[in-house]
Structures are given as C-alpha cells and as structure tokens.
Structure 1
Amino acid sequence: MDFVAGCIGGAAGVLVGHPFDTVKVRLQVQSVDKPLYRGTFHCFQSIVRMESVSGLYKGIGSPMMGLTFINAIVFGVQGNAMRLLGHDTPTNQFLAGAAAGAIQCVICCPMELAKTRMQMQGTGEKKSSRRLYKNSLDCLVRIYKREGLWGVNRGMLTTLVREMPGFGVYFLAYDVLTRGMGQEPAERYMIPKMMFAGGMAGIASWLSTYPVDVIKSRLQADGVGGVNQYSSIADCVRQSVRKEGYMVFTRGLTSTLLRAFPVNATTFATVNLVLMYARRAEEGPTDCESAQHGHHTQIQQQPSSL
C-alpha cells in the first residue's frame, strides 16, 4: 500500500512542481552571452507568452513514466535499510536515505536526461519548427541509437553526487522536524504538520546539493543541436565559473525553492490521505490510526522528483 500511495503522491507532486522545474532548467542552461530570461518570473512569463501554458509542462512524460519504479526503489530500499540498521535515529535516517538515493539513480538519471532534453526543445517557440523528439520515450530511444548506453546515462556521476546526500538530508530533516513538532495519530493538525515538515525538508535537501544540480543539468543539456560544449564534469565546472563566476551555482535556485515546498507538501498530504483511507477501509478507524502512526517515518518522498 505504501508503494501505491507513494506513486499517487509522487504524481500529484509532479503536476504541481513541473512548471517550476522547467523554469529552473531553462535558467540553468541558458547562454550567458545571449540570455533569453532575466530571472525566474520573467522566464515564467516568457514561456507562457511564447510557448503557451503547455510550454511549462514540456518533458512531464518522463518523470511521470519513472515515478512507479523510482518510488518502488526508494520506499523499498529506505525501509529495508532502516530495518537492517535496527534503530530509528536521525543518523540512520540519513544513511537509509542516502542508500535509497544512490540505488534509484538507475532510473532517475535517464528519466531526467529525457526531461531536460524535452524541456529545452523548442525554446522560445510557440510551435517548434524543428522537433527532435516526439516524446520522452522517443528521446531516450534516439539518444540510445546515437550514443549507446553511455549516452542514455549521461550525467550519472553528478546524479549520484546529488541524490545520495540530497536524500540523506531530506530524510534527516523530515525526521528531525516531525520529532520536534510531535505527531500524535489523532491530532487535529497532523496533516498540516506533515505538509510543513515535508516542504521544509525538500527545501533543505535542495539547498544542500543545488550546485551539483546546475552542473548535472548543463551536462545533460549539452549536445542538443549536435554541438558538445563540455568534455567532462571538471571542464563543465571550469567553463561555467570562468564565464559566469561562482554565482552560476545559484542559477534557477529561486524557482527550485518555490517548487520544493508545495511539491513535497502536496506529496506528503496525498500519500498520507491515501494510506489513511486504505487502512480505514481494511482495518477500521482505530487500527488505521495506529498503523498510520507506526508508519509515519516511512512515508517520505524523494526531492529529484523534487
């Protein structure tokens, strides 16, 4: 049931947060010499004006397709890791989250590659005259045919470097916040507290790994149009800092933080409501509340679909 609830909650989070993610990626990879956007809000306005509202949802098929596998991996690995570690402590929450983050990269990296390529397609055009990819799946197939398995997993190392500490911080922050606020099963404000803890945990997670995400986006967008600008991670960092200074690592941060809170709050609320109603139907109100309380530390959602 945790798996089903996680998938539904993740889907709700993607629908709420994808427009912010599109803005983040556009700001991260735009040319410093000829920038299209002056900032977060100008980027929003420009996309809607030039590409319509649907432009904000470019590439949404990829995270939607990957949600089932990602949530299955994250919930399964995190739960098993916590059982192996034996004690529900903040440190163990971090370690279990880091393990879950590392393993789900197998799905997350290709998914985000397709998402990034789709988000960059037809930039500034209401009706793209040159559509390289029909959809996210077509994007991955074409990349595989052209570059092989290595191309489909472009940005894997940076994804690992982002996801391991990112998930660790997320699970740690959520655990610390829920412990600090207290969560009784019959408490009137349990859901708002959970939403607040999830939203703040998402923000903490992104702040801890955001510079790595900028480099990952640039590497995964590199090669669009047939021209490769970076030869390695180090080369990408070196060129980015030389051209734009260290502030390059904050490109799109406003959009990301605006997205992080509602996405994680929505995800947690949806997951918990699904579990609440499912257990109430199966076990009755009292048992449902007890089961939910016992599971509250496990009902946690990742930040990359953050």
Structure 2
Amino acid sequence: MTRFGVYEELKDHFTTPAAPPSFLVLVGMASASGFIGGVVGNPADVLNVRMQHDAALPPEKRRNYKNAIDGLIRMTREEGPRSLTRGVWPNSVRAILMTASQLATYDIFKRLLLAHTSLKDNLTTHFSASFMAGFVATTVCSPVDVIKTRVMSSHEHKGLVRLVTDIFRAEGLGWMFKGWVPSFIRMGPHTILTFLFLEQHKKIYRNWKGLEV
C-alpha cells in the first residue's frame, strides 16, 4: 500500500496532459516509493519469512511464534529492536526493483499498447500490460528474493557480500533464478489482479469525484 500510494502521488504531481513522465522518470518515482515501502514493511517481512521457514528447521532451532503479534514481541524482546530491521537493505533493494519493474513497466506497457495497437483503455489492455509487468518483475527480483530469504531466515550474522560470495561458490550463477517458476506463479497472478483492481478502483473514484473526462 505504501509503494502504490507514494507512486501514485508522485505520478500525479509530475504528470501533465501535454507531457506524461518518461520511462526514466517513472523508474525514478517507482524506485523512491519502493524504498519507502521496503523500509515500512520490513518488520512484517522478516516475520513472514521466519514463520514460513520454521517448519523446515530442526526442532531445537525452531522459533515457534504463536502468531504475528507474538512474533514481533518476541523478536523485539529476545533479539532487540534491531532485529526488526534485519535484512532491510536487501529488502529495500528488492522493493525498489519490484516497484520499478512492476509499476513503471506496467505504465509503459499500457502506454505502448494504447499507442501502437487497436486496444482501448479497458480490461484487455490492463490484463496484457500487467501480465508483461509480472514477467519482468519476477525476472528482475529473482536474485534479490533469494538473498533476502536467506538473510532473514539465517541464524548466522553474515555480511551481505560474504553471503553472496558463499552462495555463488556453492551454487554458481544458477542461484540468481532459483525458484523463478514458483515465483512467477505467485507474482504473475498477484500483479495481474493488483492492476485490474487498481484500475477499476481509480475509475470508480474518478467517477465519484467527477474527475472522469
């Protein structure tokens, strides 16, 4: 929500009827909103990764959080407030890449489809642009997703450079796209539904406010 809210505000501020923002401007705005969203959502992301991976750990290493609130309280109490920012840099980088490759590319794909095909500004165009944006976002974010997951679920305190070096030595370049297919199966429909609902929401809001031309 933070990513989309900040991005839409920036886009409204920099968009004029005569000069829509260029691709580089869209990427810059998306990157800024992604960074803010990554920082805001980091505590919940750490908790999400830990709870998902808990069952895969040996019994003596499991954290066994009862629920999300219990997890946040225990993280703060047992590991200190800094545990809430664990992995914030790879997570923020991932949020930047995600937002830039998802929101900015959606706007560009939509603009290209409207300009160079017979498609109109409707669900078909929204679906096509969001499908392509989901493909790009999955590919761009795949390496950072792998790093983020391993940092947040690790019991060791490795530096980012050392972690990447160890992964590269053990797995080669293939680690960058490990799990791409399940990631796309998750991110593709998520991206499509997000933009379909967002476009309809904006249409309803503009009609309600009398902003629709």
TM-score of the two chains, using structure 1 as the length reference: 0.60
- The verdict on how the C-alpha distance between 1:274 and 1:81 changes in structure 2, with shifts beyond 3 A counting, is closer
CA contact (8 A) 1:211 1:249 kept: yes
Residue 109 of structure 2 is aligned to residue 109 of structure 1: no
Instruction: Report the alpha carbon displacement of residue 83 of structure 1 after superposing the two structures with TM.
Output: 4.8
Residue 31 of structure 2 is aligned to residue 98 of structure 1: yes
Counterpart of 1:251 in structure 2: which amino acid?
Answer: K
**Equivalent residue in structure 2 for 1:138, among 66, 70, 73:** 70
Distance 2:66 2:107 in 1: 41
Distance 1:167 1:244 in 2: 28
Distance 1:179 1:166 in 2: 19
CA contact (8 A) 2:142 2:178 kept: no
**Equivalent residue in structure 2 for 1:266, among 171, 193, 209:** 193
Q: Please name the residue that 1:74 is paired with.
A: 3
CA contact (8 A) 2:38 2:96 kept: no
Residue 174 of structure 2 is aligned to residue 247 of structure 1: yes
Structure 2 gaps, min length 5? none
Instruction: Report the alpha carbon displacement of residue 118 of structure 1 after superposing the two structures with TM.
Output: 1.1
Give the CA RMSD over aligned residues.
2.6
Identity %: 25
Residue by residue over 1:269-290, the C-alpha shift from the partner in whole angstroms, topping out at 9 and shown as x without a partner, is 222333444554x35xxx5753
Q: Please name the residue that 2:134 is paired with.
A: 202
Structure 1 gaps, min length 5? 1-70, 125-129, 291-306
Distance 1:234 1:173 in 2: 29
Counterpart of 2:46 in structure 1: which amino acid?
Answer: L
Instruction: Report the alpha carbon displacement of residue 79 of structure 1 after superposing the two structures with TM.
Output: 3.1
- The verdict on how the C-alpha distance between 1:268 and 1:85 changes in structure 2, with shifts beyond 3 A counting, is closer
Correspondences of 1:1-306 after superposition (within 5 Å): 71=1, 73-83=2-12, 85=14, 87-123=20-56, 132-182=64-114, 190-223=122-155, 228=156, 230-280=157-207, 282=208, 287=210, 289-290=212-213
CA contact (8 A) 1:82 1:92 kept: no
Distance 2:203 2:9 in 1: 22
**SS at the partner of 2:190?**
helix
CA contact (8 A) 2:42 2:91 kept: yes
Q: Relative contact order, CA 8 A, sep 6+: which one is greater?
A: 1
TM-score of the two chains, using structure 2 as the length reference: 0.83
CA contact (8 A) 2:3 2:99 kept: no
Residue by residue over 1:126-159, the C-alpha shift from the partner in whole angstroms, topping out at 9 and shown as x without a partner, is xxxx661011222122111111121111101111
Instruction: Report the alpha carbon displacement of residue 245 of structure 1 after superposing the two structures with TM.
Output: 2.1
**SS at the partner of 1:193?**
helix
Counterpart of 2:180 in structure 1: which amino acid?
Answer: L
